[in-house]
């Protein structure tokens, strides 16, 4: 069939395709006739496969979380299309997650038409066009995106898309936002091409030779060196590089507030995990040289901190956290670099230039191995269920056994059980665990859809709190999963409420009125049938389990259902909040 009308919308979609975007996670509105028509046009021409596939998302949180997880798994940014100001607002905290997770996503929203008397095609003809005409639509996201701009003509829309994606992908990566009014998105154009190869992201940065020497010499000369990292494992290829450095110097690696596998959990130099732990970390206190590698929160000063005279070095893709109002690590040197490149530079420098005290290194290696063996044994001992009660540790141990030897991808949104999940999952394969990297709950529901689209051959497993499950708009997420054939196993750490605000209140007011009366306003009793929501919305297999003896079999059955192509949601009843 002959090519039909070519508009800004066609060029916009072409630009996304040229840039390698496979999916548009969309929640449509009156601002999108141009896009709807352009997609139908290319479909009618038999060219749909050349364009990104539109995934209908009944809630924007699901759309952006899906694009977020897709990019986390694949490195490839995807597009999210939402409706003017209100759809943008409905992105809610998902955009904060993308920003904090340093994940590239292109968000597009229409904007109210700017003509009212028929001056241009697609001018105002519905009452909402007045009501949605707000003073600063782009301002809604400005604190959370790396770039925002308005498409003013189709003639350079491809340039805008490629520039936006170039910015999104350049580290620290993040979301970008384009808006386009209806008239502009309908503008007829001569077809044109743009070369996305001309818009590469900034390449990985290396340490200067001076910084490499200083850090390598300090680490190699330390008696008690320590590496702390949170998100080096965003790039799974960086993990083996870190292992080489840690092994060369027998340096323990502590994972702090980590949502990735930064260092293999079963490695003898793994020094454990910390989230909001309130006890002083002994290794941190004892360290004389600390390398903080890719970390927003390497420790929480109020409760656990290094010795005042420790020599601290920071190497980070985002070294001074310009978008955090308050951040400080008392470092001797702060360097902006790609952690894989930097770690390899440091390793090479030590190998080529430093005469290590082999005896001391081997002693350290043996001590670290003993310590991690003891830690592992202590954790193993905690994996027994209580009397007739499923504990989070027992549940996580069951999940570990369930997934042992598989290539499953785990999404964690376990909240007050983050630490337990990290400790008992002990994930060792780089890239086998992801989290949102942010704090806006409800990421995993849509995230599972995006993750499965990014790696259809892998089993996707979500570990989520019950509150977080509900924040993820399961009525929308589960429906999308069925419609687009992205089954996942969701395991709810179901304590029938929000433990986090209760624990926070208890930390600040341990003997307060709320504590005395156990009056925290965090209970979900009587609880909704959470698996039932998934059953109703997405035809998922749903089951609730409270008997520890039943749990392994229930999980196994649910996994089998997922392997059969249908989502499964298991509510695991833990002690209530
Ligand atoms: C969008 C959003 N709203 C509110 C919060 C505040 N908040 C942090 S943790 C939490 C409770 C989460 O409940 P659940 O997922 O069941 O985990 P639990 O605390 O029970 O482990 C809440 C409400 C948040 N982080 N994000
Ligand atoms: Mg809960």
Could you say which ligand is closest to the alpha carbon of residue 419?
Answer: 1
CB of 472 sitting under 6 A from ligand 1:
no
What is the atom index within ligand 1 of the atom nearest the CA of 502?
19
For the segment 196-219, what is each residue's pLDDT rounded down to a tens digit? 999 999 999 999 999 999 999 999
Ligand 1: centre distance to CA 343 (Å):
35
- pLDDT (mean) for 352-379: 95
Residues with CB under 5 A from ligand 2 (ion): 465-467, 495
User: Going by CA atoms, what residue is nearest to atom 23 of ligand 1?
Assistant: 498
Mutate to test the pocket of ligand 1, among 144, 411, 468, 525 (most ligand atoms within 8 A of CB): 468
471 lines ligand 1 (CB under 6 A): yes
From the CA of 470, how far away is ligand 1's center (Å)? 10
Protein residue closest via CA to atom 17 of ligand 1: 465
The distance between the two most distant Cα atoms of the chain, rounded to a whole number of Å, is 84
Query: Which residue in this structure is represented by tokens 């409800």?
Result: 442
Cα of 93 to ligand 2 centre, how many Å? 19
Residue 484 has pLDDT above 80, yes or no: yes
* Whole-number pLDDT of residue 1: 41
161-201 pLDDT, tens digit each: 999 999 999 999 999 999 999 999 999 999 999 999 999 99
Average pLDDT value for the chain: 97
The DSSP code sequence of 533-545 is: HHHHHH--EEEEE
Ligand 1 neighbour 262 (Cβ under 6 A) = no
> Closest ligand 1 atom to the C-alpha of 524?
16
154: Cβ below 6 Å to ligand 1? no
- Give the integer Cα–Cα distance in Å for 61 and 153: 29
Do 410 and 439 form a contact (C-beta atoms < 8 A)? no
In this prediction, residue 226 has a pLDDT band, given cuts at 50, 70 and 90, of very high
Give the mean model confidence (pLDDT) for residues 296-306. Answer: 97
Of all protein residues, the one whose alpha carbon is nearest to atom 8 of ligand 1 is 500
pLDDT tens for 79-124 read: 999 999 999 999 999 999 999 999 999 999 999 999 999 999 999 9
Instruction: Please identify, by atom number, the ligand 1 atom nearest to the C-alpha of residue 495.
Output: 20
CA–CA gap between residue 106 and residue 97 (Å, rounded): 14
Ligand 1 nearest-atom number relative to CA 416: 21
Band of residue 395 on the pLDDT scale cut at 50, 70, 90: very high
Q: Is 571 in the pocket of ligand 1 (CB under 6 A)?
A: no
Rounded CA gap, 127 and 146, in Å? 33
pLDDT of residue 4: 80
The Å distance, Cα 523 to ligand 2 centre, comes to: 9
Mean per-residue pLDDT, 390-418: 98
Residues 366/316, Cβ–Cβ less than 8 Å? no
Q: Does residue 495's CB lie within 6 angstroms of at least one atom of ligand 1?
A: yes
- DSSP annotation of 332 reads S
User: Cα dist. 119→114, 115, 123, 165, 456 in Å?
Assistant: 10, 6, 7, 33, 48
Query: Residue 364 has what pLDDT?
Result: 96
The strand pairing partners of 150, in sequence order, are: 179
Write the DSSP assignment of 206-272 as a string of letters: ---HHHHHHHHHHHHH-SSEEEEESSGGGSTTHHHHHHHHHHHHT--EEEES-SB--S-TTSTTEEE
Assign residue 473 a region (left: φ > 0; alpha: ψ between -120 and 50; beta: otherwise): left
- Atom of ligand 1 minimally distant from the CA of 468: 15
Ligand nearest to the CA of 465: 1
pLDDT at residue 40 in the model? 97
Closest ligand 1 atom to residue 441 Cα is 26
pLDDT classification of 277: cutoffs 50, 70, 90: confident
Distance 500 CA to ligand 1 centre (A): 6
**Index of the ligand 1 atom closest to the CA of residue 469:** 15
Q: Which of 463, 471, 495, 505 for a ligand 1 pocket mutation test, highest count of atoms within 8 Å of Cβ?
A: 471
What pLDDT shows up at residue 182? 97
Q: Is 372 in the pocket of ligand 1 (CB under 6 A)?
A: no
Given a cut of 80, is residue 142 above it in pLDDT? yes
- State the closest ligand 1 atom to the C-alpha of 413, by its place in the atom list counted from 1: 15
Q: Which atom of ligand 1 is nearest to the CA of 417?
A: 21
DSSP calls for 57-77: -SSHHHHHHHHHHHHHHHS--
Confidence (pLDDT) at 2: 47
- For ligand 1, whether the C-beta of 93 sits within 6 Å is yes
Question: What span, in angstroms and rounded, lies between the C-alpha atoms of 125 and 375?
Answer: 67
Whether the predicted pLDDT of 252 surpasses 70: yes
The answer, yes or no, to whether any atom of ligand 1 lies below 6 A from the CB of 436, is no
- Probe ligand 1: pick from 90, 498, 528, 576, max atoms within 8 Å of CB? 498
Q: Does the pTM exceed 0.95?
A: yes
């Amino acid at each position: 069939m002959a090519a039909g009308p070519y508009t800004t919308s066609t060029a916009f979609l072409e630009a996304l395709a040229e840039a390698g975007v496979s999916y548009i996670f969309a929640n449509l509105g009156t601002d999108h006739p141009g896009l709807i028509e352009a997609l139908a046009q290319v479909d009618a021409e038999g060219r749909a496969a050349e364009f990104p596939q539109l995934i209908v998302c009944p809630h924007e949180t699901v759309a952006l979380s899906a694009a977020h997880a897709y990019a986390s798994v694949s490195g490839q940014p995807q597009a999210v299309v939402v409706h003017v100001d209100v759809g943008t607002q409905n992105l809610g905290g998902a955009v904060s997650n993308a920003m904090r997770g340093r994940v590239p996503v292109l968000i597009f929203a229409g904007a109210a038409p700017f003509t009212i008397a028929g001056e241009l095609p697609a001018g105002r003809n519905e009452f909402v066009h007045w009501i949605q005409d707000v003073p600063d639509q782009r301002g809604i996201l400005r604190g959370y995106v790396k770039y925002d701009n308005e498409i003013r003509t189709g003639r350079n829309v491809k340039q805008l898309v490629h520039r936006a994606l170039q910015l999104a992908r350049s580290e620290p990566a993040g979301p970008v936002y384009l808006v386009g009014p209806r008239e502009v998105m309908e503008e007829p154009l001569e077809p044109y091409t743009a070369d996305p190869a001309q818009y590469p992201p900034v390449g990985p940065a290396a340490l200067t030779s001076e910084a490499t020497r200083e850090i390598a010499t300090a680490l190699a000369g330390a008696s008690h060196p320590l590496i702390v990292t949170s998100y080096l494992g965003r790039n799974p290829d960086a993990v083996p590089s870190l292992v080489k450095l840690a092994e060369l110097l027998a340096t323990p690696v502590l994972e702090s507030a980590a949502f990735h596998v930064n260092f293999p959990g079963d490695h003898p130099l793994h020094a454990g995990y910390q989230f909001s732990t309130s006890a002083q970390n002994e290794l941190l206190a004892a360290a004389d040289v600390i390398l903080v590698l890719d970390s927003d929160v390497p420790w929480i000063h109020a409760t656990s901190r290094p010795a005042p005279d420790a020599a601290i070095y920071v190497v980070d893709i985002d070294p001074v956290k310009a978008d955090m109002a308050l951040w400080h690590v008392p470092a001797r040197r702060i360097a902006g670099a790609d952690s894989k490149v930097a770690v390899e530079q440091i390793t090479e420098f030590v190998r080529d230039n430093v005469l290590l005290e082999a005896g001391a290194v081997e002693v350290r290696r043996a001590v670290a191995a003993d310590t991690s063996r003891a830690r592992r044994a202590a954790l193993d001992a905690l994996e027994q269920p209580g009397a007739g009660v499923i504990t989070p540790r027992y549940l996580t141990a069951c999940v570990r056994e369930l997934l042992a030897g598989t290539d499953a991808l785990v999404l964690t949104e376990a909240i007050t059980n983050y630490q337990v999940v990290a400790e008992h999952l002990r994930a060792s394969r780089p890239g086998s665990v992801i989290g949102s990297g942010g704090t806006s709950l409800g990421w995993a529901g849509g995230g599972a859809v995006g993750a499965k689209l990014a790696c259809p051959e892998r089993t996707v497993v979500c570990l989520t709190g019950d509150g977080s499950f509900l924040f993820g708009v399961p009525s929308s997420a589960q429906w999308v999963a069925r419609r687009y054939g992205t089954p996942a196993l969701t395991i709810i750490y179901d304590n029938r409420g929000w433990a986090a605000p209760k624990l926070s209140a208890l930390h600040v007011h341990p003997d307060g009125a709320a504590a005395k009366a156990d009056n925290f306003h965090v209970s979900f009793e009587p609880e909704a049938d959470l698996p039932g929501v998934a059953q109703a919305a997405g035809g998922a297999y749903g089951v609730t389990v409270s008997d520890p003896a039943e749990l392994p079999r229930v999980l196994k059955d649910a996994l089998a259902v997922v392997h059969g192509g249908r989502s499964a949601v298991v509510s695991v009843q833990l002690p209530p909040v």
